[in-house]
């Protein structure tokens, strides 16, 4: 049977990295515990679709659901099963992943009517890989664990291409990126960032788009601005000053007002260009 392995490594505790793999063999080469079974996937957008696709290609028995039903079709062609609601996916699977746009959709899919929590039970697991804030994650965790199921918050660092290539880095810290105030070991933070897409390679990934002024969407600008909003809100809650994020957020807001919300976030450079024009 195919095996889906979830194991924490590196840093330990709140800063641990999640190594996630699905292989056609049930034996773990490292000898560590894993599990075999049915895998659910909720949210088949830019990121979710290639992640689910890789699971299927690796031999996992995958069941999908997406708000817009038609986005399931390519996955069904690859052999995925379909269920009509998050609750149905959760009840028919051993572990269910969710890759949703933002906190609101993550809560709706997990805790709303016919949400995943309704299909959870002891022995099952729910892994939210969307990028959300700590309060949202705790709320979802509360709903899921109240059913006796397990919950893991595991946002990913990477983008469309790393998702397609199976090279995403899963971050399993409870409170992300805002220093010891939110309980994160800064050494682990540095280690994790140095291995992720938010290290210097992001510049080589986005720089060419900025130079060409062509922004094919890998990570929508609207989602980047949402993440800045989440970071600002968390920082506010612990009175932490994050001036660079605040400044970046202003720039992303300008970019959104220019109609660039659905472009790749590298289009933020257009906001700088607009400011220059204004100052002429
Ligand atoms: N793109 C990237 O490079 C990266 C993105 N992320 C994070 O991953 C997450 C997903 O991003 P991405 O795949 O790019 O975004 P997309 O906009 O492509 O996908 C968003 C998904 O959320 C679903 N969704 C939105 N609102 C609702 C709702 N109210 N109810 C149910 N489902 C809903 C969409 O369904 P529908 O198809 O019906 O619209 C879609 O499946 C975000 O949290 C983002 O911050 C993390 C790392 C990199
Ligand atoms: O949400 C985006 C990321 O790369 O992290």
Ligand nearest to the CA of 105: 1
pLDDT of residue 108 exceeding 70: yes
The domain limits of the chain are 3-180, 202-279
Q: What is the pLDDT of residue 13?
A: 29
Q: What is the mean pLDDT of the segment spanning 153-157?
A: 87
pLDDT class of 277 with cuts at 50, 70, 90:
confident
75 close to ligand 1 (CB < 6 Angstrom): no
Residue 100 pLDDT: 98
Average the pLDDT over 9-22 and give the result.
33
Q: For residue 76, give the 3-state DSSP assignment.
A: helix
Q: Which pair of tokens denotes residue 95?
A: 């572990």
Per-residue pLDDT of 120-141, as tens digits, reads: 999 888 999 999 998 999 999 9
Better-scored residue on pLDDT, 93 or 24: 93
Closest CA to 228 of 154, 177, 155, 262: 177
| Fold that domain 202-279 belongs to in CATH | 1.10.1040
pLDDT band at 257 (very low <50, low <70, confident <90, very high): very high
Domain 3-180 listed as CATH 3.50.50.60? no
Instruction: Supply the pLDDT for residue 142.
Output: 96
If one residue of 197, 205, 230 were mutated to test the ligand 2 pocket, choosing by the most ligand atoms within 8 A of its CB, it would be 197
Average pLDDT over the chain, rounded to whole?
A: 80
Nearest CA to ligand 1 atom 11: 101
156 within ligand 1 shell (Cβ under 6 A):
yes
Q: How much is the average pLDDT of 52-67?
A: 93
Residue with tokens 């095996």: 3
Output 88 or 207, whichever has higher pLDDT. Answer: 88
Residues 127, 7 contacting (CB under 8 angstroms):
no
Q: What is the pTM of this model?
A: 0.74
Residue for token pair 């257009």: 270
Among all bound ligands, the one having the nearest atom to the CA of 161 is: 1
What ipTM does the predicted assembly reach? Answer: 0.97
First-last CA distance in the chain: 65
Mean pLDDT over residues 107-117, rounded? 98
pLDDT of 90 above 60: yes
Atom 3, ligand 2: residue with shortest CA distance: 157
Give the pLDDT confidence of 214-239 residue by residue, as tens digits. Answer: 999 999 999 999 999 999 999 999 99
Q: What percent of the chain is modeled with pLDDT above 70?
A: 74
Q: Does residue 9 register a pLDDT over 60?
A: no
Residues with CB under 6 A from ligand 2: 131, 157-158, 197, 227
Higher pLDDT, 2 or 36: 36
Percentage above 90 pLDDT, the chain:
54
Highest-pLDDT range among 26-40, 51-65, 75-89, 184-198: 75-89
* pLDDT score of 32 more than 60: no
Please state, in angstroms and as integers, the Cα–Cα distance from residue 174 to each residue in 14, 77, 101, 120, 152, following that order.
6, 36, 19, 22, 9
Residue 273, pLDDT score: 82
Q: What is residue 193's predicted lDDT score, i.e. its pLDDT? A: 60
Tell me which of 125 and 66 has the higher pLDDT: 66
Residue 191 has which token pair? 């280690």
> For ligand 2, what atom is nearest to the CA of residue 227?
1
């Amino acid at each position: 049977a195919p095996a889906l392995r979830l194991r924490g490594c590196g840093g330990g505790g709140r800063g641990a990295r999640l190594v996630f793999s699905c292989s056609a063999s049930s034996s773990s080469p490292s000898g560590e515990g894993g599990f075999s079974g049915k895998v659910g996937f909720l949210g088949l957008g830019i990121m979710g679709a290639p992640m689910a696709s890789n699971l299927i290609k690796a031999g996992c028995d995958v069941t999908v659901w997406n708000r817009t039903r038609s986005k399931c079709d390519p996955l069904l062609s690859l052999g995925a099963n379909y269920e009509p609601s998050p609750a149905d996916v959760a009840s028919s699977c051993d572990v269910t992943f969710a890759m949703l746009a933002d906190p609101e959709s993550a809560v709706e899919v997990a805790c709303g009517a016919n949400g995943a929590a309704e299909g959870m039970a002891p022995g099952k697991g729910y892994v939210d890989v969307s990028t959300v804030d700590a309060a949202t994650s705790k709320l979802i965790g509360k709903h899921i664990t109240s059913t006796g199921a397990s919950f893991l918050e595991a946002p990913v660092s990477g983008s469309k291409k790393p998702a397609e290539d199976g090279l995403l880095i899963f971050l399993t810290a409870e409170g992300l990126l805002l220093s010891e105030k939110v309980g994160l070991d800064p050494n682990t933070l540095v280690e994790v960032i140095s291995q992720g897409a938010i290290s210097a390679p992001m510049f080589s990934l986005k720089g060419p788009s900025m130079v060409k002024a062509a922004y094919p969407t890998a990570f929508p600008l609207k989602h980047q601005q949402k993440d800045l909003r989440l970071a600002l809100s968390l920082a506010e809650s612990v009175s932490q000053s994050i001036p660079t994020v605040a400044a970046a957020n202003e720039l992303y807001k300008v970019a959104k007002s220019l109609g660039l919300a659905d472009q790749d976030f590298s289009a933020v450079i257009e906001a700088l260009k607009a400011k220059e024009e204004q100052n002429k």
